[in-house]
């Protein structure tokens, strides 16, 4: 199972980049999801990460398709307010495009538009969505059964419950604060990796 770590929107580039470089050996992908950053800030962060040895092939840029294309980052993650999968694929056919979905119906529609993967959540209850119960592992299984795309699960993931995702068809787990805001990010990411690789 792939481990995706997503930036939290609570760290400056100066805080994020060293932490990202330190955890790089244990993550498959790092998503830059910074809604408040300008295109220049995102581009500069990509350059800083590159200078620290973080491969562009392991980066995923949220929403800013233009920045990804300009900086040679091969993967983008689309949100509900982003360009459509079809539009991105038409303009940038070489980009790997994943998008956020919240139901099997949305996942099927994304696949029909040409998405390469989907990010489904939130699976478990999470502090980032207070008062909203998690959609649950049953919903995850429905989504993974409805499409042939890789499905990445997100929302309230701990190292222990992330290990359960594979049994419901998920191809990966996406984590935000559980890694990047942990007191020891390297120790935290190793725990996730250990549990994801357990049989």
Report the C-alpha gap between 159 and 175 in whole angstroms: 10
Q: For residue 82, what pLDDT is reported?
A: 96
Segment 11-22, tens digit of pLDDT: 999 999 999 999
Domain ranges of the chain: 2-197
Segment 20-30, tens digit of pLDDT: 999 999 999 99
Q: For residue 199, what pLDDT is reported?
A: 63
- Residue numbers of the chain with a pLDDT score lower than 70: 129, 199
Q: For residue 198, what pLDDT is reported?
A: 82
81 included as an active-site residue: no
Query: Does residue 131 contact residue 151 with C-beta atoms inside 8 Å?
Result: no
Q: For residue 75, what pLDDT is reported?
A: 98
Report the C-alpha gap between 92 and 81 in whole angstroms: 18
Q: For residue 126, what pLDDT is reported?
A: 77
CATH architecture of 2-197: Alpha-Beta Barrel (3.20)
CA angle at residue 49 from 187 to 79, to 5 degrees?
Answer: 85
Question: How much of the chain is in helix, strand and coil states, percent to nearest 5?
Answer: 45, 20, 35
Of the residues 81, 96, 102, 122, only one is catalytic, namely 122
Q: For residue 119, what pLDDT is reported?
A: 98
């Amino acid at each position: 199972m792939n481990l995706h770590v997503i930036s939290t929107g609570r760290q400056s580039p100066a805080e994020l980049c060293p932490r990202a470089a330190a955890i790089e050996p244990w993550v498959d992908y790092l998503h830059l999801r910074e809604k408040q950053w300008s295109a220049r800030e995102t581009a500069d962060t990509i350059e800083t990460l590159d200078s620290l040895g973080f491969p562009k092939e392991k980066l995923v840029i949220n929403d800013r398709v233009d920045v990804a294309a300009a900086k040679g980052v091969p993967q983008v993650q689309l949100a509900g307010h982003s360009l459509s999968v079809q539009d991105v694929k038409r303009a940038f056919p070489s980009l790997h495009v994943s998008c956020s979905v919240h139901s099997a119906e949305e996942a099927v529609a994304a696949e029909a538009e040409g998405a390469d993967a989907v990010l489904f959540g939130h699976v478990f209850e999470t502090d980032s969505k207070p008062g909203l119960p998690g959609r649950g592992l049953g919903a995850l299984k429905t989504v993974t059964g409805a499409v042939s795309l890789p499905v990445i699960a997100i929302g309230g993931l701990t190292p222990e419950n992330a290990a359960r995702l594979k049994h419901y068809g998920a191809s990966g787990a996406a984590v935000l604060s559980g890694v990047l805001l942990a007191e020891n990010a390297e120790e935290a990411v190793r725990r996730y990796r250990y549990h994801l690789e357990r049989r």
